[in-house]
Amino acid sequence: MSKYIPQEEIISDKAMSDKALAEQVATLPVEMTPERDLWSGIERAINHKNQELTINKQRKLLMPSAWAASIALVILMSWVTFSPSINEESAPVLVETQEKNGVTQGQLVNFMQQNFKKQKQTLLASYGQPTVDKLPAAMQQELTQLSDARASIRKALLTDENNADLLNLLDFTQQQELKLLQQLYRQYQVI
């Protein structure tokens, strides 16, 4: 491969020797062949980089959505926590505070009952007065059970109107029924 510098060039003087070196440099091969196959590694790295690029792009797209979702969630949580809602309007608070307000237990039960009916009417009106019989059978059964439970508690309160646990239980049952109705009609809005 390599060539010897002609001795005459080297012997004569330093300048010739430099020239000979330069000529040797000019004969250096432009190409060399690597021993191992380099392409497979390059291909792997390229594909990996492409994947990273795709993931980064997706992340860039997801970030605003994630922020928006987080903000919406915070707003929703704040609204649920601080705004008066169906859940908070009634009984635990009423039950706890009724003694302070000088309301008798019987009056309270009636008030709770009326309040519940009003909320239920409002709720059903907001969904266009749907009929329960169009709900799936299982749901209808669950609503019936809750209604029965409510009736049983009311009945028990007639004999033991000072029972705070029963009052709380009535309130709880009413709220559960309202929640269930809300969920069901949201889910089956076609009804």
Provide, rounded to whole angstroms, the least separation between the CB of residue 33 and another protein.
6
Provide, rounded to whole angstroms, the least separation between the CB of residue 6 and another protein.
10
Cα separation values, 31 from 27, 141, 175, Å: 11, 84, 83
Nearer to another protein, 3 or 155 (CB): 3
Provide, rounded to whole angstroms, the least separation between the CB of residue 51 and another protein.
13
On the 0-12 / 13-18 / 19+ scale of CB atoms within 10 A, 181 is buried
Q: How far apart are CA 72 and CA 75, in angstroms?
A: 5
Provide, rounded to whole angstroms, the least separation between the CB of residue 61 and another protein.
19
Q: How far apart are CA 166 and CA 152, in angstroms?
A: 10
Nearer to another protein, 24 or 162 (CB): 24
Nearer to another protein, 21 or 66 (CB): 21
Provide, rounded to whole angstroms, the least separation between the CB of residue 58 and another protein.
17
Nearer to another protein, 22 or 137 (CB): 22
Tell me if 157 sits within 8 A of 163, measured CB to CB.
Answer: yes
Interface residue list for another protein (CB under 8 A): 1-2, 4-5, 7, 10-11, 15, 17-19, 21-36, 38-39, 41-43, 45-46, 49
Name residue, tokens 């949580």: 77
Measure the N-to-C terminal CA separation of the chain; round to a whole number of Å: 90
Nearer to another protein, 47 or 70 (CB): 47
